[in-house]
Structure 1
């Protein structure tokens, strides 16, 4: 089936998880829209949130090391705080416990320790949880849905909504893997293009999909009786409310459910807009959130280099490589055109270079990052698509070939922090070098210095002795 084709829903009886019956059809894979060469910052952020979330899911094969402390706010402060250190303590069905171990989970992650007892509690408890990709969040609510299913009831009991069909598929794959020893549990994907016969009722106990299609299945097509839904999971809430239409569709789905339905909401970030949305959707919740770690630049030495044009920037970059012992480097450019020019010239100098930009599919980007992480390329040239959420321990140098600037022409401090934060990971020493090509760029450097209350030191890359003294 081609990427842009449509198909009729099928039952995949022979798949990698043959015991769990799945209804699935893939939706059109549209090309990602970016603002690398212009366009709306708002629309770029909307696409970026969803694509970045999927990218993280694709590249994180195992749980990430999370140093954040978890803060638990209980609905009933008098209730004893219950957490688990082993999956056996949850008293799961043997088939589910086998599925958990088969997926490679040996012990609960930090978010799972605290969230699973609440999600599995009787009577049911509502939950709002902050959790980033790679922390075991998806496995946690997948386990909750699989545990929640009453096999005697041949109707949909658990609804899980996700902002994009790619993310929905990722969730479904986790449910399939974890439920591989549960032959009577059925899963359906509510994504556009999955055509179902009107008037029939789904017998799949778990439905995962996007808000628009799930809303249609509940209202227009009557495939799901929302009054029979007993667990509602809303994943990637921050992405959801940043995507046009999804916020309102999610609220409309929520209104169809009964007050007894258990509500579980997850988000990687909790800005005010997310909190307001969460409070509207999840009544009387328990809350799990990450205690904010202070963003630290203590292990990163920051420099700027005065240049006239891109050729001077390139010469300075080559001088850096001639004087530094660099494990791996990430170089950020403003546009795809500049990133392509730079990667070609670096290859001509004999460097192993990977190029990452927004016209690639998410899967292609994940493959590039995987190669870089494995050391097959030593230099990653990229636009902003790679500034967030990717930890490569061996990155020792970040270069802002173009400084991050907002639509207002001022320094984009958040992007700057995310960019240079790719080095100095896990307490290692790192270097950030900023290329300055005029008075406007120098003003940006001063704005960044004031924002972070840090001095960025001038570096003359043509003076080897000075570089050695500053960088050592």
Structure 2
């Protein structure tokens, strides 16, 4: 998997100012998000639902200095069905998506203390006020439209906040509130009278690290006057030679390791270490060694918190060593469903036919925002060039870009300036962009051995259909192996992909309209289109 932290960065890195949240940008209406006018030959895919914002509760926080005022954009909605929905950390104001949980999943708790009963009411809460949180945090939760804990939060928060602190391994579907859970833990435990680093979050990419930092600042916005400071540690040559202060540090493993080694980041007072997308972070073929080295620089009794949507068995085994004596909240893989996202595929007979079908597909409709996942950087560059020539507003983000260039590309996509983002797996995890209604697997995700990559598929299509929202995933197959891998993936998750018959694009258009009318996309018939699995 691509990662900007495959090697420790040579440059010295930047931080947010002490008043980070004072510079947050809250998106408003923007002409760049205006939907394209409908024509007889196109229909509009942009029927996403936006969680309404209570302006009376929205803090008056100016925008980030580094953000273009023109980027303040999120479409409004006339659908109030998600008015009371929560958000998964990445609030709608910063481009996140709402949370409306499915009723049909259970959280399995395994306590480190085998004598304790995981069903004891002490290990579950139904209201945030039952957690004895700081009043300022309860205010922050209401500001973010969190009205009650999600199911993962009900079980995770009492375990995270218990004293003495204990380690936690948490596995739950994307969009269920993991970010808010570990953020609340940090904001509850830090000492605001000191601005020394006390909590550290590691994320696999700079985009996810920046998103988490915004969540921390927004949830803790009422603690700013008491000295709350959130600091980013991501590659930024402009911040060369800085010493990093702030109670909460959010960064990528290579950058943090580099700063610890240079003594520009002090680790002796850090009491909480959180890994987001922990299965990816602890992959021994990737960043596992970097994370291990970072932890070795921290106090031995640091509370270690690991969260991810997936934990393959071999990674979970390593995780139990990385975070010993952990309480565990896990879901069986078969319960990590993708059934809330309509999954379709196009059967092409060559790579060139794949591209032609892609162009035809985008010519058929106006999609609010979509992400196209490819395997190789050169494929991303070629698709970007050819789609741009066809008049589509696209951007490409791969591991070839670094620092502010990546920020600029991602911001173009997040604010709607580019409607299509072409990327490798660098953005398959954790990122929430509210308007994404389509994910395209231009290349079926595979392991290094050419086998189907179930976890990557789950994370990729999890960028859309965020619990109650409209979303769809389209996969391209062009040979026996890609077709078989897609079928194996869908069988693994118990879903049946819908084949789009490209010999009749009028019928494809009719079917897509029906798909997008149902916000859950579960039991939608396929008119005159055969189901294959």
The answer to whether the superposition gives a TM-score over 0.5 is: yes
CA distance in 2, matches of 1:60, 1:269: 24
CA distance in 1, matches of 2:137, 2:90: 28
Structure 1 residue 62: deviation in Å?
Answer: 3.2
CA distance in 2, matches of 1:462, 1:56: 40
Structure 1 residue 190: deviation in Å?
Answer: 6.3
Matches within 5 A, 1:195-344: 195-196=241-242, 204-212=246-254, 214-215=256-257, 221=263, 224=266, 226=268, 228-242=269-283, 246-292=287-333, 293=335, 310=352, 314=356, 335-336=379-380, 339-340=383-384, 343=387
Q: Cα deviations across residues 242-278 of structure 1 (Å, max 9, x unaligned)?
A: 5988433432343344444322222332123431332
> Is 1:461 matched with 2:499?
no
CA distance in 2, matches of 1:158, 1:447: 41
- TM-score, length basis structure 1: 0.64
Partner of 1:140: 181
> Is 1:85 matched with 2:126?
yes
Partner of 1:184: 226
> Is 1:70 matched with 2:70?
no
Q: Which runs of 5+ in 1 are unaligned?
A: 27-52, 348-352
SS of 1:357 mapped into structure 2: strand
Partner of 1:48: none
Structure 1 residue 83: deviation in Å?
Answer: 1.6
When Rg is computed on C-alpha atoms for both structures, the one with the higher figure is: 1
Do 1:159 and 1:207's aligned partners in 2 also have CA atoms closer than 8 Å? yes
1:355 corresponds to which of 391, 394, 405: 394
Do 1:319 and 1:461's aligned partners in 2 also have CA atoms closer than 8 Å? no
CA distance in 2, matches of 1:421, 1:103: 22
Structure 1 residue 285: deviation in Å?
Answer: 0.6
Pairs aligned (count):
417
- TM-score, length basis structure 2: 0.58
Structure 1 residue 363: deviation in Å?
Answer: 5.1
CA distance in 2, matches of 1:316, 1:188: 42
SS of 2:328 mapped into structure 1: strand
Q: Which runs of 5+ in 2 are unaligned?
A: 1-9, 25-58, 67-87, 512-526
SS of 1:238 mapped into structure 2: helix
CA distance in 1, matches of 2:199, 2:462: 39
Matches within 5 A, 1:86-101: 86-101=127-142
Q: Which has the higher contact order (CA 8 A, sep 6+)?
A: 2
Structure 1 residues 94, 276: CA separation in 2 closer, same or farther (over 3 Å shift)?
A: same
Structure 1 residues 281, 410: CA separation in 2 closer, same or farther (over 3 Å shift)?
A: closer
Q: CA RMSD in A?
A: 5.5
Structure 1 residue 288: deviation in Å?
Answer: 1.4
CA distance in 2, matches of 1:145, 1:266: 14
SS of 2:147 mapped into structure 1: coil
Partner of 2:409: 364
Partner of 2:82: none
User: Which shows bigger deviation, 384-393 or 260-269?
Assistant: 384-393
User: Which shows bigger deviation, 66-75 or 204-213?
Assistant: 204-213
CA distance in 2, matches of 1:149, 1:11: 18
Structure 1 residues 142, 408: CA separation in 2 closer, same or farther (over 3 Å shift)?
A: closer
CA distance in 1, matches of 2:255, 2:414: 32
Do 1:17 and 1:177's aligned partners in 2 also have CA atoms closer than 8 Å? no
Structure 1 residue 148: deviation in Å?
Answer: 1.0
Do 1:190 and 1:210's aligned partners in 2 also have CA atoms closer than 8 Å? no
Structure 1 residues 86, 363: CA separation in 2 closer, same or farther (over 3 Å shift)?
A: farther
Do 2:213 and 2:232's aligned partners in 1 also have CA atoms closer than 8 Å? no
